[in-house]
Amino acid sequence: MGNFDFQNKTVVLMIKVAMLGGAERQALGLANYLIKKYRCKVHLVATHSNEATEEFSLFAKDCGITKIDYFGTPSLTIRKEFSFNNLKKTVRAIRYLHHMKKEISKYNPDILIPFLNTPSKISSLLYKQVGAKVTFWHQLGLDNYSFDWLEKKAINNVPFIISNAENGLDIFRKNYNVKESKLFVLPQYVSIDRKYFDKRLLKNKFSIPEDSFCIGMIAHYRTEKHQELLIKAFVKINSTKKIHLVFLGNKNNSQETLDKYSNLEKLRTKLMLNDKVSLLYEQPVEEVLNCLDIGVLVSEIEGTPNVVMEYMLYGLPVIATHHDGCIGLLKESEFLISNDEQVLVNKISLLLNNEIIREQESKLNTEKIKEYNIDNYISRLTFILNSK
């Protein structure tokens, strides 16, 4: 492109569902920023839902978004096979894309900005047809791929593929042989502001002992998140301090999250930890962050995790699985670990029993996170969009 900038542009943001997860916070925060700083007209499209949660609606309104276009759940997987089922899926995909093209074209967009893979697939197929100058594939953390004909076509069409961590680009290299000149790493920005609350009142609200030292993990209740590993490590920690373990996640997203939450409840009961482990859901993340003394994220796979950025913003020492995105954030930290129970016990114990190390990690993380602001994000994104 060579000369794209965001000033006075019409932007269509494409999300999967109108539920306030990490990607959705990124989208709404970006909307707010583009409206206020660049005087953009911003439209929000939900590709996989027909309604918003109350939490999402309130946050969207605060960010300047009062209307959301819903398109239901698409059927966008077309295989290279001759079958009646594949033919039906092809017809549904064509109808869905035609409907979306018709509606988005009304906005005369300059750019489509997707969040996650399916919105990226859609935007890559449609951006030229709706009159947009540019779009990009936006890979964020753990996301599904279909490896179908439409996905291949979309990846061939899209001018840029942006991942929030290096490991997010591997699938494009290995499965689609995408040229390196098309691939970029751009970690997201911190999408929340630090808020200060009375810790004593919050602990009372969440039934956490006031004099306890809080270890926390904020993550979806999904199979790739290893809350159970943290619970098992917690049992083995020896300390003179009164310690409490706090989890926060989305319980009601799906049957998977409900099952995971139920299994964690059973594990907590089995280990006789009902008074020492809190399983929270549908609570403001800022309030839970104010309760914590150590932030933990142990998981099977990550991009650049929003929650690690949020731990750092709140000045917490962080223990995290050594995924590429976590390494990018925490740099040379000794608290980047394998998913090993005893290693986790040792690292928690080290922080728990050494105030000097906790303070050092707090200061380091507070300093490291400063570069992950929205001004730098937009500057880097604009550079990428002008790289061809």
CATH code where residue 139 lies: 3.40.50.2000
Kindly state whether residues 171 and 215 are assigned to the same domain: no
Does residue 194 sit within a domain? Answer: no
Domain that holds residue 100: 10-189+373-385
Residue with tokens 């109808």: 95
CA distance 90 to 83: 11
Overall number of domains in the chain: 2
- Answer yes or no: are the C-beta atoms of 185 and 308 closer than 8 Å: no
Kindly state whether residues 164 and 291 are assigned to the same domain: no
Kindly state whether residues 261 and 355 are assigned to the same domain: yes
Structure tokens at 63: 């960010």
Kindly state whether residues 253 and 176 are assigned to the same domain: no
Kindly state whether residues 306 and 380 are assigned to the same domain: no
Q: How confident is the model at residue 2, as a pLDDT?
A: 66
Kindly state whether residues 249 and 212 are assigned to the same domain: yes
Kindly state whether residues 172 and 316 are assigned to the same domain: no
Does residue 4 sit within a domain? Answer: no
Dihedral (C-alpha) 265, 268, 269, 272: value to the nearest 10 degrees?
A: -160
Mean pLDDT per 10-residue segment, the chain (388 residues): 88 93 90 97 94 90 93 85 86 93 96 95 96 95 79 95 92 93 95 92 96 96 96 93 94 89 97 96 94 97 93 98 95 96 97 96 97 96 93
For 84, 170, 228, 279, the CA distances from 275, given in Å and listed in that order, are 55, 43, 16, 11
Which one, of 42, 95, 36, lies nearest residue 67 by Cα? Answer: 42
Kindly state whether residues 366 and 378 are assigned to the same domain: no
Kindly state whether residues 21 and 61 are assigned to the same domain: yes
Does residue 316 sit within a domain? Answer: yes
Does residue 301 sit within a domain? Answer: yes
Does residue 280 sit within a domain? Answer: yes
Residue 76 burial (CB < 10 Å; 0-12/13-18/19+)?
buried
Pairing verdict, β 318-321 and 10-15: unpaired
Kindly state whether residues 328 and 377 are assigned to the same domain: no
Kindly state whether residues 230 and 362 are assigned to the same domain: yes
Helices 22-38 and 306-313 meet at what angle, rounded to 10?
70
Kindly state whether residues 210 and 317 are assigned to the same domain: yes
Q: For the stretch 330-343, what's the b/e string if a residue is b when 16 or more beta carbons lie within 10 angstroms of its beta carbon?
A: beebebbbeeeeee
Q: How confident is the model at residue 319, as a pLDDT?
A: 98
3-state secondary structure string across the chain: CCCCCCCCCEEEEEECCECCCHHHHHHHHHHHHHHHHHCCEEEEEECCCCCECHHHHHHHHHCCCCCEEECCCCCCCCCCCCCHHHHHHHHHHHHHHHHHHHHHHCCCCCEEEECCHHHHHHHHHHCCCCCCCECCEEECCCCCCCCCHHHHHHHHHCCCEEECCHHHHHHHHHHHCCCHHHEEECCCCCCCCCCCCCHHHHHHHCCCCCCCEEEEEECCCCCCECHHHHHHHHHCCCCCCCEEEEEEECCCCCHHHHHHHHHHHHHHHHCCCCCCEEEEECCCHHHHHHHCCEEEECECCCCCCHHHHHHHHCCCCEEEECCHHHHHHHCCCCCEECCCHHHHHHHHHHHHCCHHHHHHHHHHHHHHHHHCCHHHHHHHHHHHHCCC
Does residue 357 sit within a domain? Answer: yes
- The neighbour count for residue 51, using CB atoms within 10 Å, is 12
Helices 22-38 and 54-62 meet at what angle, rounded to 10?
20
Q: How confident is the model at residue 148, as a pLDDT?
A: 87
Does residue 2 sit within a domain? Answer: no
Does residue 1 sit within a domain? Answer: no
